[in-house]
Amino acid sequence: MTGIEQACYAAGSQAKLADLLGCSQQNISSWLRRGYAPAERVVEIEQATGVPRALLVSPKLRELLSPPEAF
């Protein structure tokens, strides 16, 4: 389950998450299709649902923020 899916589950539905964030259900649906939330919304989603921001961002961004593996 992706972070944005977890956030929808925690909120109760896409529509309820949208209400919590002050956006449309269509925004949430778009985020679900791509598998992550916009970086500028992750802190807000984390505060509203308790889903850690690290699970909500793009996997590419997550890779950039992760420390490199030790050789």
Q: Which domains does the chain have, with CATH numbers?
A: 3-58 (1.10.260.40)
pTM of this prediction exceeds 0.95: no
> Can you tell me whether residue 50 is helix, strand or coil?
coil
Tens of pLDDT, residues 50-71 = 999 999 999 888 777 776 665 5
CB 4 within 8 A of CB 48: no
CB 36 within 8 A of CB 2: yes
The mean of the pLDDT values for the chain is 92
How far, in Å, CA of 69 to CA of 71, rounded? 6
In this prediction, residue 70 carries a pLDDT of 54
Tens of pLDDT, residues 37-46 = 999 999 999 9
In this prediction, residue 22 carries a pLDDT of 97
Tokens of 61: 């961004």
